[in-house]
Structure 1
């Protein structure tokens, strides 16, 4: 009789433990989604600022059509990315295009002194800092979530349900790990 009670107690405790692990997976999955949403908000701010920056530079450097088209194309690709991996690739392209845009801007002293350009440049710098913070938060929550999925015994619960590891949001090329820097 004592073994029966011990067995029932073990089953009940195991069930509660499994429910606890499942709830923790749900919580961390939600935090990963919320963290990605934070990155998305910052990226949208950046995307909304870029056309103003391009138009300001265009006013001074009308013959740099290819540069403007590359920035516009890269912005569009980044806005339409649907996965973390796709967003990483698109952001790499956008960063390259912005570096080229800033290189063009350096060739025009009047542009470098333009108050609107300086304001846009400052806003972009602030947004880049916010994106970095959002990226760190996302990668931290992703790390915690992935550790729980890989750890025993939570890996059993994750394997029995639909929980899958989340991708980190990283820039793969070392030179592109830095935010675009503009020196005037």
Structure 2
């Protein structure tokens, strides 16, 4: 074999091996991006199920509170509107915003119950509040898992060379994180 043919064969071999490496990296990154994106969707579904569970419990709690209070219609209207907003929201970003509105309205309802000791001691109210407390815990856990999945996905598509493959394949950063409300970031003023 001539020296020129040998050099050409080595160069072609190197190009083929490099091409296989690049293709393998591309396919591996693509598969992982799809898996991570599906994980985000799955974790969002968990959040959505728990938000729906809470939205289904709230009317029962509102009706129980209405039985004890007659003049607090604005609070009930706010909750009904916030709940309707949550149920009609279609994207994670919209649901996250609507959930914040519902949290705020629901907080006003719970503050209202402080004025009615007989309500707070009713068996039905206590049972509903326990169910709601359990649901709130489920929501907190599913939010945490969802945020972790979004962070994992964003980190993966932001790293080199995955960022190149993500741009080619059309995978984009997901910024639909749950964040603490402004009210929860302020420490309560406790006086002894």
- Could you state the TM-score of these two structures normalised by the residue count of structure 1? 0.92
**Partner residue of 1:62 out of 59, 65, 70:** 70
CA-to-aligned-CA distance 1:134-176 (integer Å, 9 cap, x gap): 0111110100100111111001111011211112332353324
What SS does the corresponding residue of 1:129 show, helix, strand or coil?
helix
Find the aligned partners of 2:72 and 2:177 in 1 and give their Cα distance.
Answer: 32
Find the aligned partners of 2:80 and 2:179 in 1 and give their Cα distance.
Answer: 20
The answer to whether 1:45 aligns with 2:53 is: yes
How many residues get paired? 178
In the TM superposition, 1:15-164 aligns within 5 A as 15-164=23-172
Q: Which runs of 4+ in 1 moved over 6 A?
A: none
Shift, 1:71, TM fit:
0.6
Shift, 1:42, TM fit:
0.4
What are the ranges of 5 or more consecutive residues in structure 2 without an aligned counterpart?
1-8, 187-192
Over the aligned positions, Cα root-mean-square deviation in angstroms equals 1.4
Find the aligned partners of 2:81 and 2:46 in 1 and give their Cα distance.
Answer: 24
- Could you state the TM-score of these two structures normalised by the residue count of structure 2? 0.88
CA-to-aligned-CA distance 1:72-112 (integer Å, 9 cap, x gap): 11111111112222222211111111111112111111101
Q: 1:120 to 1:68 in 2, by over 3 A?
A: same
Find the aligned partners of 1:95 and 1:175 in 2 and give their Cα distance.
Answer: 11
Q: Which of these two proteins has the greater Rg computed from alpha carbons? A: 2
What are the ranges of 5 or more consecutive residues in structure 1 without an aligned counterpart?
179-184
The answer to whether 1:6 aligns with 2:14 is: yes
